[in-house]
Structure 1
Amino acid sequence: MIKAPTSKQLFLDQLRAGLKGLPRTVIDETVADYEAHFEAGRAAGRSEADITTGLGDPTRLARELRAEAGVRRWEDERSLSNALGAILGIMGLAALDLLVVLPVLLTVGSCVFAFIIAGAIICLVGSIMLPFALIDLNPLPGADWLQGILISLGLACGGASVVAFCTLLTIGAVNLLTGYGRAHYRLIAPSHSA
């Protein structure tokens, strides 16, 4: 078990170092909140060592706060960078589960990426075939112009559907991962209450 620092300043310095990379306002607000914990503890007659012990390891606390911030950004605005931030934050929090979560995440991510590429290629092929079918330069021997149009539209729409489904699957996977992180965070959080 990692020993908690015994002084307020050491605790706050380690917390600030662990939060590095987050927006400055978030870091300042978080450190101010924990300074308030120390003030309330001192007002209740507790020593700095007792307060820091109650708060726990500031490095682990910073990882939890970073993961929570990443999840909040993902929930507020669904974007690729926010999804990656949430995933990395949760992976940092769940360092012990890394051997289980990472292979599954890489496998699912690789499969979804392959399907997105395949869908985009199929959509592109259908889109390229459509103008040829419209001017009756059908690249498919033995097919009339209507069949060529329907086949090219089918390919374009089918490819677009695969890409859309994979996008929804990716959003669902990120939501599952953030749910996992929230459950993990809730299991750890009670040990840090002062």
Structure 2
Amino acid sequence: MTRQEFLRRLKAGLVGLPTTTAAEIVSDYETHFDDGVAAGRSEAEVAAALGDPDRLARELRAEAGAQRWHQEKNPSAAAAAVFAVLGLGAIDILILLPILMGVIGTIFGFFIAAIALFFSGGAVMVAGPFAAPPGGPLAAILFGLGLMAAATTIAALLAIVSVWLVNGLVWFARLHYRLLKPALEPSNTTTSGASA
């Protein structure tokens, strides 16, 4: 593979990243080619040592998504991190996506239940005293407040679980990236052996 083809495919895979980040990444890989050619290696050898540019772009996008999540910690960054992790490969998607969708669906269901419980508690607190509940109006108000407090607690716990889930996905992406990184970069032993 030539330098131009490698960089073209890498740029295409980095679409969606901030322009400056993508430009820095491409510049780094141009430097790899410059250094390799200066060391007497062909463009094809440098490209082979760097690995598949499409896979490399997916891993770099996953790393960028993970960094954004650690910096911002908001739903948009969480979604970017999740999609970046899922973009790592088809095998990961086939294994991780069904599990992830089940967990996300369960968390979403509990969030909806917590919202419904909160509003039910508010309705009991407001309308209960006028409905002559057992224990009197004070019992209805306290019961309504209890339902609202329980809903708030459930929602807070679900938020913590959601953060743990995203952190777990980010950890998975980084582990995946670290395991593949040696295959993507030329090893120092090859470089030192060639120079000896």
Output the TM-score relative to the length of structure 2.
Answer: 0.91
Alpha-carbon distance in structure 2 between the residues aligned to 1:71 and 1:23: 14
Coordinate RMSD, CA, aligned? 1.3
Alignment partner of 1:117 is 2:109: no
The runs of 5 or more residues in structure 1 that have no matched partner are 1-5
> Structure 2 regions of 5+ residues with no counterpart?
187-196
Shift of 1:130: 2.2
The residue that corresponds to 1:10 in the other structure is: 5
Count how many residue pairs are aligned between Structure 1 and Structure 2.
186
Equivalent of 1:151 in 143, 151, 156: 143
Pair 1:102-2:97 in alignment: yes
Measured after TM superposition, the shift of residue 140 of structure 1 is 5.7
Q: AA paired with 1:182?
A: R
Percent of residue pairs bearing the same amino acid type: 42
| Residue 142 of structure 1: aligned partner | 134
Letter in 2 for 1:184: H
Task: Give the deviation of 1:101 after TM superposition.
Answer: 0.8
Match of 1:170 among 162, 166, 173: 162
User: Are 1:160 and 2:152 counterparts?
Assistant: yes
* Matching residue of 1:93: 88
- Counterpart pick for 1:32 among 27, 32, 41: 27
Secondary structure of 1:93's aligned partner: coil
Residue type of the partner of 1:77?
E
- What is the TM-score when the length of structure 1 is the normalising length? 0.91
C-alpha distance 46-140 of structure 1, shift in aligned 2 (>3 A): farther
In 2, distance between residues paired with 1:140 and 1:41?
Answer: 84
- Which residue is equivalent to 1:42? 37
Instruction: For 2:70 and 2:96, locate their aligned partners in 1 and report how far apart those are by CA, in whole Å.
Output: 21
Out of 74, 83, 88, the residue aligned to residue 78 of structure 2 is: 83
Give the equivalent residue in structure 1 for 2:17: 22
Residue 3 of structure 1 aligns with which residue? none
One-letter amino acid matched to 2:24: E
Instruction: Write the distance in 1 (CA, Å) between the matches of 2:54 and 2:134.
Output: 69
User: In structure 2, what residue type is equivalent to 1:53?
Assistant: A
On the 8 A contact 1:67/1:92 being kept in 2, the answer is yes
